[in-house]
């Protein structure tokens, strides 16, 4: 008897390979668990307005985006928790003072501090970001998430606040960029909300992740998997370890639970 009822999947480094393709085994695994009646959510730091091609390819219309600040079920908004405007101001002012950069996300656009610098262009090209605009203070109350970009390691202390965690982007060549994760707004808090909405307990939930922005997600479910390619710090938050994203990690993890064959 299948007791697991819901599955949460990170995207970058979990579903997507470094070249942004998806292994056939991952597509097959998702197909098999859905056929067993398991509900599947994507759970990503990405803005949801930029992943429509992926959701169509996977046949998944339920997503947590912006590192837990916003969620939709079958395309309908079910959860929204914008960033505090004072926190937004803190990052705007600090990046300006240190001559570094940021991107903030609303549910419609990616708002960059600059659109012309080479590493900014590399950032939105790597993550396939197309709805890119310059941030203005008129957007301050609609920010769902953000990333500070090209940050010098000795500058991290200037960004820190008690209410946040800066999660290194787990992508080669971008480890000087950090997702802004709030203590009360993260993938784990969104998952707790969704489990409550569906009257599910954590032991009925599964999650796969590879980055430190996944740590709250992994500790919010009963069956948590760290990918073999995960940030080494993530393994202590996971119940299980699976193989890497390049070696059928999702399929092999779900196979451990007897959900695919």
Number of domains in the chain: 2
Domain boundary among 164, 182, 200: 182
Same structural domain, 128 and 207: no
Domain boundary among 157, 182, 207: 182
The reported pLDDT for the residue numbered 115 is 96
Q: Which CATH number does the domain housing residue 165 bear?
A: 3.30.1240.10
The reported pLDDT for the residue numbered 2 is 61
Same structural domain, 58 and 74: yes
Mean pLDDT, consecutive 10-residue segments, the chain of 261 residues?
87 95 97 97 95 95 96 95 94 97 96 95 91 95 95 95 90 89 92 97 97 96 98 97 98 97 93
Distances in Å between the Cα of 142 and the Cα atoms of 108, 115, 136, 139 are 10, 20, 11, 6
10 within some domain: yes
118 within some domain: yes
The reported pLDDT for the residue numbered 116 is 95
Same structural domain, 98 and 168: yes
Domain boundary among 165, 182, 199: 182
Same structural domain, 22 and 103: no
The reported pLDDT for the residue numbered 145 is 93
Torsion of CA 53, 21, 170, 99, to 10 degrees: -60
The reported pLDDT for the residue numbered 76 is 94
Residue 177 sits in which domain range? 85-182
Count the alpha carbons within 13 Å of 109 in the hemisphere toward its beta carbon: 11
261 within some domain: no
Same structural domain, 76 and 200: yes
Strand partners, 73: 76
120 within some domain: yes
Q: Which CATH number does the domain housing residue 211 bear?
A: 3.40.50.1000
The reported pLDDT for the residue numbered 183 is 86
Same structural domain, 95 and 171: yes
């Amino acid at each position: 008897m299948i007791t697991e009822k819901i599955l949460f999947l990170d995207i970058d480094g979990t579903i997507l390979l470094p070249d942004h393709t998806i292994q056939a085994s991952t597509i097959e695994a998702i197909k098999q668990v859905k056929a067993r009646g398991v509900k599947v959510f994507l759970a990503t730091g990405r803005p949801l307005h930029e992943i429509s091609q992926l959701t169509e390819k996977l046949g998944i219309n339920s997503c947590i985006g912006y590192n837990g600040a916003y969620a939709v079920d079958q395309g309908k908004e079910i959860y929204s928790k914008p960033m505090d405007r004072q926190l937004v101001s803190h990052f705007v002012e600090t990046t300006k003072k240190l001559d570094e950069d940021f991107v903030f996300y609303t549910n419609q656009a990616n708002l960059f501090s600059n659109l012309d610098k080479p590493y900014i262009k590399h950032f939105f090209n790597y993550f396939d970001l197309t709805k890119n605009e310059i941030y203005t203070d008129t957007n301050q109350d609609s920010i769902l998430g953000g990333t500070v970009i090209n940050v010098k390691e000795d500058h991290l202390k200037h960004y820190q606040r008690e209410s946040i965690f800066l999660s290194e982007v787990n992508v080669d060549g971008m480890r000087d960029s950090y997702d802004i994760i709030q203590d009360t707004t993260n993938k784990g808090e969104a998952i707790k909300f969704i489990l409550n909405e569906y009257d599910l307990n954590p032991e009925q939930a599964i999650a796969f992740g590879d980055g430190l922005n996944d740590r709250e997600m992994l500790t919010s479910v009963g069956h948590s998997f760290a990918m073999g390619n995960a940030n080494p710090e993530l393994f202590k938050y996971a119940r299980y370890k699976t193989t890497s994203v390049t070696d059928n990690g999702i399929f092999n993890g779900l196979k451990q639970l007897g959900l695919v064959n």
